[in-house]
A and B are shown apart, each in its own frame.
Chain A
Amino acid sequence: MAKIMYIEALKSALREEMRKDKNVFIMGEDVTRYGFGINRGLVEEFSPSRVRNTPISEAAIIGSAVGAALRGMRPVAEIMFADFIMIGMDQIVNQAAKMSYLSNGKLSVPMVIRTPEGTEWCGGGAQHSQTLHSIFMNIPGLKLVIPSNPYDAKGLLKSSIRDNNPVIFFEHKQLYTQKGEIPEEEYTIPLGKAAIKKEGEDLTLVATSWMVKHSLEIAEDLKNKISIEVIDPRTLVPLDKDTIINSVKKTGRLLVVDESPVSGGVQGEIITVAMQEAFWNMEFPPRRIGSLNTPIPFSSALEEKVIPTKEKIKKEILSMFSD
């Protein structure tokens, strides 16, 4: 198995799906130039018609992806930073997410919006660093994918492109250069299937995206004290409730870690899902960690205070076993 970077895994998924299906095409701002290098080389192979640089017009990028999808294409629209999705919000919420339902299933919108989210290595600040996926959990009709490593990124992106629904694919910027093993042969990962990244007995630690990396390191650090089960939902919609519930029933303790601000975030949703089924198995109240309810500040000294860090997660875990 080859070890490749997350961005290479994404590129590999795009290339394979574009070779397989001529209806798949990419569009977005400077996709052949920036895009964290993910699309590099694709325009040469597939022509500028299928790898399209667009004007800075997020509503038109997302809206036209919806329209192209309605006509049988499979657009992969890249939004340069997740923060910029807000300009095209209507096109996602009022258009893409409604087409299937309003047409009684006669219309489908097979499109993917790929977008980097989360804090950066260089300090993107308030409008380039947000974690916004929780917002979309409240919109029926969308699927949300949030892969935490190169293997998942490739398998899930391929499934997202083949899915007949609008999918938003969130990539944490800190993961782009992470390396992981990828098999030579083709594979896909179904949407709606969580991964138990590490088995354990004492605590269910549900973590998403970049937080999975922290969580696995903590599980290793604490292995002699606490046996931690690390679960990565991989997709927020559909959410693999069973895997989470079964784990919580086994461990009796739950901590959910996600970079979204905690208020109204995915953390609370996952806790509710688990508590409705596993409440009587609990040995300790469920806990959640997310970003503080503040915008993301530029200064590293401040940014570190806002986002969940490895130290914060570890401290929280230890507090759940303090008795």
Chain B
Amino acid sequence: MKVNREQKINMYRSMIRIRKFEDKLEQIYRDGKLNGHSHTCHGGEAVAVGAIEALSEKDFIFSNHRGHGHFLARGTSPKNIMAECYGKVTGTNQGRSGSMYLVDTKRGMPVASGIVGGNICVAVGSALASKIKKDNVVTLSFFGDGATNIGFFHEALNMASVWNLPIIFLCENNQYAEATKREQHQKVKKISDRAISYAMPGITIDGTDVIKVYETVKEAVEKINQGEGPILIECLAYRLLGHSAGDLGIYRPRGEKKEWGKIHDPIKKYKKQLLKEGILNLQEIEKIEEEIQEEIKEAVRFAIESEEPLAKTVGKFVYQEEVNG
């Protein structure tokens, strides 16, 4: 479970990549240069990076509407994600998704769900396939605190529990379901307590501590590989921006964002830790940030210069043409 130096640096790079990507995207939306809905994951970087770093290549990940970070953490190129946000043919979905329903089949990431909680039952099916095939693949389902109020969540946890399926339910509790503060949409103190109803382990951890997230998910993966069933992991974090681009979060109590941003910004926190541990010095950090900044700039250039999808392809792939057997 020990995290080596190289991994630690890679995780930092990955978190910075997500932050800078999201900063840029938010700006592009606020400038009115893009249509559609964009949900950035400012404050959730440690959840995405820590959890995904703990999985292996063969594992499957089901993402959601706030999914850019998940894909970036898994290694999908920022160019292709940015191009998708621009609706270009070089995008992850060749312009058919926009920001919300990204896909990367090469990296075990089926189409992300824009319906809150819509992917949780689907993820259970992936775990069921693993159970029947005995292929030792672990499935991880990402969702937010808001999704734990929808029926899918409860049906999924119950089914996974009854069948002892190899799945990690990973809740990024970022304190808000759209514009509603958590205390106003659910009474449970800890979302992980909901696991009790399904007789599965449930834990709550600091979701702004990337190493903690990594270690927790890694341990869960190992237990599942030893035959243990599902687990619910609640990662406490804070959504540093609004629900979607253009939401300035005026419904938040005064000072709340500032306080969280100061204490619980996962990137600031991790940077401090890396400096303290002597993994990176300030110069090295600066260099990483500059490199990533360039990468994101390049991604935007790539997206802008890419072609629009051809209109004649609009009807393709509504159905699969080939038949089995």
Interface residues of A (CB under 8 A from B): 20-21, 25, 49-50, 52, 54-55, 57, 59-60, 62-75, 87, 90-91, 94-95, 98-108, 110, 140-141, 143, 159, 162-165
Contact = CB atoms under 8 A, between A and B. Distances in A.
Given A68-B129, A69-B125, A107 B118 contact: no
Given A100-B319, A140-B318, A59 B325 contact: no
Nearest to B129: A71
B325 A165 contact: no
A100 B122 contact: no
B128 interface: yes
- Chain B interface helix/strand/loop/mixed: mixed
5 contacts: A66-B122, A67-B123, A110-B320, A163-B323, A165-B320
Given A71-B133, A107-B110, 8 more contacts: A63-B124, A63-B125, A67-B124, A73-B133, A95-B115, A100-B317, A102-B93, A102-B96
Contacts of A73: 128-129, 132-133
B121 A67 contact: yes
B215 to A, nearest CB: 27
Interface stretch (B27-35, B156-164, B300-308): B156-164
Given A64-B124, A65-B125, A70-B125, A59 B152 contact: yes
Chain B interface residue bracket vs A? 35 or more
Contacts of B93: 102-104
B103 interface: yes
Nearest to B151: A59
A69 B122 CA distance: 9
B324 A67 contact: no
Contact of B103 (A66, A74, A95, A103): A103
B181 to A, nearest CB: 25
Of all A-B residue pairs in the complex, the 10 with the closest CB atoms, nearest first, are A67-B125, A63-B121, A64-B125, A71-B129, A60-B155, A105-B317, A164-B320, A57-B155, A67-B122, A68-B125
A21 B113 CA distance: 30
B320 A54 contact: no
Contacts of B90: none
B78 to A, nearest CB: 19
Nearest to A63: B121
A90 B115 contact: yes
Contacts of A63: 120-122, 124-125, 152, 155-156
A75 B126 CA distance: 12
B303 to A, nearest CB: 17
A69 B115 CA distance: 19
Given A55-B159, A67-B128, A91 B325 contact: no
Nearest to B111: A102
Interface string B141-162: 0000000000110011011001
Contact of A91 (B101, B118, B320): B118
Contacts of A105: 316-317, 320
Interface in B160-174: 162-163
> Which one of B96, B124, B159 has the highest number of Cβ atoms from chain A below 10 Å of its Cβ?
B159
Contacts of B129: 67-68, 70-73
B194 to A, nearest CB: 16
Nearest to B317: A105
Nearest to A94: B115
A62 B94 CA distance: 28
Contacts of B162: 55
A265 B174 CA distance: 44
B80 to A, nearest CB: 12
Nearest to B113: A95
Contacts of B120: 63
A183 to B, nearest CB: 19
B324 A162 contact: yes
A71 B118 contact: no
Interface in B87-143: 93-94, 96-97, 101, 103, 105, 110-111, 113-115, 118-133, 137, 139
Contacts of B94: 104
B317 A68 contact: no
Given A68-B129, A107-B103, A107-B110, A162 B323 contact: yes
B204 to A, nearest CB: 24
Given A60-B159, A162-B325, A107 B122 contact: no
B322 interface: yes
Given A63-B124, A71-B126, A95-B119, A103 B110 contact: yes
Given A71-B125, A101-B317, A107-B103, A60 B118 contact: no
Nearest to A74: B324
Determine which residue in A91, A98, A99, A103 has the highest number of CB atoms from chain B within 10 A of its CB, and name it. Answer: A103
Q: Which of A54, A95, A159 has the most CB of B within 10 A?
A: A95
A54 B155 CA distance: 11
A67 B165 CA distance: 13
A50 B113 contact: no
A101 B93 CA distance: 9
Nearest to A237: B319
Given A74-B324, A110-B324, A60 B158 contact: yes
A63 B155 CA distance: 10
B301 to A, nearest CB: 23
The residue among A68, A102, A164 with the most chain B CB atoms within 10 A of its own CB is: A102
B60 interface: yes
A206 B118 CA distance: 38
B125 A107 contact: no
Nearest to A17: B325
Interface string B187-223: 0000000000000000000000000000000000000
Given A55-B158, A141-B319, A64 B325 contact: no
A66 B152 CA distance: 13
B46 to A, nearest CB: 27
Contacts of A66: 121-122, 125
